[in-house]
Chain A
């Protein structure tokens, strides 16, 4: 063990000499996934703290790093950073006995993996090769052989910038994602990844990928594999960070970064390699489906020694009993049949209940005659007599009345209480959390359409401090919603809920890139419109998405023109004017409600603008300049502006703050024409898409 006294303060830069003296391994944990697959739970808790067989996910990741002999760990918090911080500070990893020399929490407002990586690059904390893992990796693998290979490769070739660790898993494996299947084209000799694409399982791009014929001619042997679990364990070099910084539009780890670097191989010669694990466990809890599968793997001891009875968290006391039951101390079980289940301490289970393949947290009260099959029940849950729960996830402090039936795929979030005799049908999500529309700003990759769709799945209780009487209306309300969104709802376990999101994300990324490209090159507006339309048709994207892409591209252009890093920087105001006046046509072509009273499209445009501005440092200024500009140049009409201003979503919470500067401008408008107040507010949350 290294001497502990070298612990350095969080912000201090590591000196190069220190780096040479002792070659320590650093690791970066992305505690935020920048995704919304665990909604509604992630609205109240970060994903990395959700319990997997009663142990928070991040414990598994940190155990993995401890096993790998990592010494410096940087945990990158995104949403709910305070919760992550509280947890880590109270955990054993912060004690003196921690195997890590330093564990540093990095908080940032990053809204994607890309932003986080660029931020990391700026902070200058990383001094050598490092492990990049997401905060939901579960693995008992020893990283040493992979690391040795990586280092040997580095010796020979400085351009081998990254090694991905992939787990081999045959066809139809439960732990692999069903939704978008990653396809790796690998040169088995050099263990080099040549090409990467995600193959969706539905819609047009379902079952084929397009290979560059050159791949076939220039390589003697290639493997095309879709049987690999991508567990997001990457051994990276400093060049990786540089790549992220150079390509500011890279957002996601695989789809943009990996794809992008491989595509530019001809130009830059950077190579990315793979290390395929065949006999140890490695997986990532990236969706609810994976959550289910990995829970089973843990209970089936595939992850040994990271099993419940290893008691990873200091206060746990699990023991392995007959019938594959992991049970903590002080569990009271009446005559009940329990199989393949983990039960936390101080839980009471009533008589004649049947519990199989489930996880039950601490301090739960399970009544008599309850049937629980394959369900995940977290802490402090009360289940009334005679209830039936199948393959659902029930979060902390939930109360379920007597004789309730909860069908598979239902997700019941924190603190919900259900009265007696309630049936929750398949795949319903129930939360008390009041969702503000832009709550999911952490998830820019998911287009808004999908988040609307998924938020529609979430039953929002009108009174958050739910009284039992109002809950009884639950069933009928849900029934109303059902037909509307039927197409977009699917079993949380059986498929990957964010498939749609993936598709629209694709469009968004590509479209933004192509518009931005056009703006930078100074192409005429018509050319860009033509390209955009073509692309829109081919991907069947909605006008909303087009607007989103346009807004994103324009804002990027504006900030790159006016940015501080730009030597020939012009003021933001000028930049806005330059961009918007030149491409007025393009913006106008995205809105089609000039002659209607309700300016839905314009409101939408402004909302997107506001959202985009929100994520930027001087967003309030930008928003003012742009609103003024679009108003002056008649792109947006006054009605549109005012409707936007009165729109509840634009005023909400954090989002609202960005408008502060714009307020004067709006007041001026209102005073100038006080006669025309639009009386019917636009209260609909649904956008046209």
Chain B
């Protein structure tokens, strides 16, 4: 109880606290989150994703798993309700799909273990091998990150023609689609577990299409199989594994910004002029990390009317960790100017005029769509258009959790319109009576205006996103809800 705070407007912190509280019935937690979403007390991709993950973890914990399809059904239903509450926060849907994926995967592993003696050794060994390999990377959570690890693939790697879908046979696609256990379950032979292991043996990768699946298992796999077999009987607790999987998703959410920032030195060079937009924490971290090594100039568009105040605060280094009362690390963050970077704050209208001097545009995004387009804070499209006019590269920073398998058939329905009070004061009676105002919160940027995405897995071309999506989401979960399954 926040006794000292007196009145406390509910938000993510209070919600996560109440979800963790064992006494709260699960149904009321769900309703609670739904009304928080409806009231927009939890908004933006990251808080929504976090809240969804907290809630689903609780759903899994409280669900009496008789059979897995029941659990899948349950999570699906909860996800549908959450999405119906706020269809434009698509990060919710992404997390639901990820959790469903985790459940399906664990279930299939489990089933494999029971049915076929020889393949379970392989499947069960996956987490171990992935974890081992991954320990060299900044973050190595087990089961889920297997999928993540499969894709820190240099852009060049995606150009390898041998793996492209025109060769449609299941055998050819298998090595890449490791996360798709549906293939694994139908397949009798052992499956190549991760893209990472493929990359660590680039030669075998090239040779792959001709090789038979059975012959090209990764090196780490055979020695582990015995111990894995022994573990099998012990590691029966499906629930624990699923919860662990969700825990990993949460960790990924927390670390996404730092991981993205880790790629900064590859993209920001000395004496460059960088233009950015909105007061995004992701972008700020990215720039700050680069500022430690290099000197460059940042031009910051203020994003009137919805975000200008926090943009100003960010520039002068007084950013508060959003409206959350939690003391998060962001609130202690230094401003760019304190790190010795020249920051120029400009009105949005000046973006085009300054674009000719800009070397790179770095944008944050609200959501990334399946076709490589994105939905970002209103004003981002102006920036992207201006950049494409001047042939300035546009880099978009986005955690993988923002990557949605939804294809934008109806762009209007992805937009949220806000309160016009930012555009004109409500007190201006004549204007309010006679003029109509719109204040869209988002812009849709088509894929051709974006040059590069940097996710926590590395940099990707927009055309490559489909691959990451395929790695992270199961095809059967793509159409999660009736809201996004457009006509």
A residues adjacent to B (C-beta < 8 A): 1-5, 21-23, 25, 63, 66-70, 92, 95-97, 99, 140, 142-144, 147, 151, 167-174, 176, 227, 278-281, 297, 300-305, 310-312, 314, 317, 319-322, 324
Contacts and interface: CB of A to CB of B under 8 A. Distances in A.
A174 B432 contact: yes
B41 interface: yes
A174 B433 contact: yes
Contacts of B417: 301, 304, 320
B28 A4 contact: yes
A97 B9 contact: no
A54 to B, nearest CB: 15
Given A1-B32, A99-B10, A302 B419 contact: yes
Contacts of B428: 170
B14 interface: yes
B97 to A, nearest CB: 21
Interface in B1-53: 1, 3, 6-10, 14-15, 17-18, 21, 23-25, 27-32, 34-35, 38-41
A67 B35 CA distance: 10
Nearest to A282: B426
Contact of B427 (A69, A168, A303): A168
A97 B30 contact: yes
- From DSSP, what is the main secondary structure of chain A's interface residues? loop
A4 B433 CA distance: 44
Contacts of B8: 69
B429 A173 contact: yes
B331 interface: no
Given A1-B18, A174-B429, A21 B419 contact: no
B314 to A, nearest CB: 21
A602 to B, nearest CB: 51
Contact of B27 (A96, A173, A297): A96
B40 A69 contact: no
A102 B360 CA distance: 55
Contact of B31 (A95, A151, A300, A310): A95
A69 B2 CA distance: 12
Nearest to B32: A97
A97 B31 contact: yes
Nearest to A317: B84
Nearest to B431: A170
Interface string B422-437: 0001111110110011
A312 B428 CA distance: 28
A305 B28 contact: no
B418 interface: yes
A147 B6 CA distance: 10
Contact of A3 (B14, B21, B29, B421): B21
Given A21-B3, A302-B421, A169 B35 contact: no
Contacts of A174: 429, 432-433
B420 interface: yes
Given A1-B15, A1-B17, A22 B429 contact: no
Contacts of A320: 413, 417
B412 A67 contact: no
B31 A25 contact: no
Interface in B54-111: 84-85, 87
Given A3-B1, A144-B7, A301-B417, A278 B427 contact: yes
Given A97-B32, A301-B439, A317-B84, A63 B419 contact: no
A173 B432 contact: yes
Contacts of A144: 7, 9
Given A69-B8, A97-B35, A311-B85, A304 B3 contact: no
Interface residues of B, number: 50
Question: Among the interface residues B429, B433, B436, which one has the most CB atoms of the partner chain A within 10 A?
Answer: B429
A147 B426 CA distance: 22
11 contacts: A1-B32, A4-B24, A21-B3, A67-B39, A97-B29, A97-B32, A97-B35, A144-B7, A301-B438, A301-B439, A302-B432
Given A169-B427, A170-B427, A173-B427, A305 B439 contact: no
Nearest to A174: B433
Contacts of B24: 1, 4
B421 A23 contact: no
Contacts of B85: 311
A5 B24 CA distance: 10
Given A1-B17, A22-B1, A170 B7 contact: no
A113 B136 CA distance: 71
From A23, A66, A304, residue with most partner B Cβ within 10 Å: A304
Contacts of B437: 300
Contacts of B483: 319
Contacts of B427: 168-170, 173, 227, 278
Interface string B157-172: 0000000000000000
Interface in B391-420: 412-413, 417-420
A279 B421 contact: yes
A303 B426 CA distance: 11
Contact of B419 (A22, A97, A143, A301): A301
A69 B7 contact: yes
Contacts of B418: 301, 304
A41 B57 CA distance: 48
A99 B35 contact: yes
Nearest to A22: B3
A330 to B, nearest CB: 12
B411 to A, nearest CB: 11
A172 B25 contact: no
Contacts of B84: 311, 317
A98 to B, nearest CB: 8
Interface in B423-470: 425-430, 432-433, 436-439
A2 B9 contact: no
Contacts of B1: 2-3, 22
A2 B28 CA distance: 13
A310 B9 contact: no
A25 B23 CA distance: 23
A302 B426 contact: yes
Contacts of A66: 35, 39
Given A2-B1, A171-B429, A304 B419 contact: yes
Contacts of B15: 1
Given A21-B3, A67-B9, A305-B419, 6 more contacts: A2-B1, A66-B35, A280-B421, A281-B426, A301-B438, A310-B39
B9 A312 contact: no
A248 to B, nearest CB: 32
A97 B436 contact: no
Contacts of B425: 278-279
Nearest to A1: B18
Contact of B25 (A96, A147, A303): A96
A143 B28 CA distance: 25
Which residue, B10, B29, B427, has most C-beta atoms of chain A within 10 A?
B427
A280 B419 CA distance: 9
Contacts of A297: 432
A312 B38 contact: yes
Contact of A281 (B10, B30, B421): B421
A181 to B, nearest CB: 13
A156 B435 CA distance: 45
Contacts of A322: 412
Contacts of A25: 6-7
Contacts of B429: 169-174, 176
A172 B429 CA distance: 6
Contacts of A171: 429
A18 to B, nearest CB: 12
The 5 closest A-B pairs by CB, nearest first: A97-B31, A173-B429, A97-B28, A1-B18, A304-B419
Contacts of B28: 4, 95-97
A319 B419 CA distance: 16
B486 to A, nearest CB: 11
A449 B8 CA distance: 48
A142 B34 CA distance: 20
Given A172-B433, A321-B412, A300 B420 contact: yes
